[in-house]
Every structure is written in structure tokens, then in C-alpha cells.
Amino acid sequence: MDYLAAHESDIERIVNEFEHQGDKKALETRVYDYLSHNPIKTHRTCDEPYAKLDFDGICREVFDFHDQIIDLYKTLIGKAEIPEAKELFESLLAMEENESMRLARQVGRMQDL
């Protein structure tokens, strides 16, 4: 299994845990308003198809995507109307920041090779 597939399955496992253990009111919080004004976008750092990107180009694109998700969670924390939703978004933010740092460490190791 390659790194990206393993990384995706880790995040998927963590999100599934949030779905099973999270407060139902918080899980039903909608993000439509945010996403209609600030949609998560790919290819903000490049115009090339992914198949044509080099290692650094792919890294920039992946980290830009993570940064957008982090911004989403920070915004939603500020807009949360119930404590359960705020707590959920804070947990998701911490998860995303931890996964981004883990990815950065692993990318650094790959560059050392």
C-alpha cells in the first residue's frame, strides 16, 4: 500500500470514529453556507494535470488542500451555535492539523532519500 492510500485510510478511520461517537446535533451542522462562498478547490497552486506534476508540485497541491480544510474548520468553530458543534469542529481541526504535520514529516523523510 502506498503512502497516500495509507494516509487516506487513516483519515477515513478517524472521521468514521467522529461519526460514531459524535454528538448527533453537532453532526447535523450544515456547512453549505461556507462552501457556497468559499468552496474547497483543487489546482489552486498549478494549472497542470496531476500526472504532469513533479514531487514538489504535488506536495504544494496536497498541502494547499489541507490548508483549505483547516481554514474551513477554523471558520466553523467561530460560527458554531451550539457547544457540541464547536467541540466537534475543534476536534476535527486538531485531527487535520495533526495529519498535516504527520504528512509534512513523512514528505521530509522522502526528500531525504
pLDDT digits (tens, 9 = 90+) for 66-102: 999 999 999 989 988 888 888 888 998 999 999 999 9
Alpha-carbon span 78 to 50, nearest angstrom = 34
How many other CB atoms are found less than 10 A from the CB of residue 98? Answer: 11
Strands (E), the chain: none
CA distances from 1 to 7, 62, 83 (A): 10, 19, 39
pTM for the whole structure: 0.72
* Extents of the domains making up the chain: 3-112
pLDDT tens, position by position, 48-65? 888 899 989 999 999 999
| Degrees, nearest 5: CA angle 3-8-13 | 125
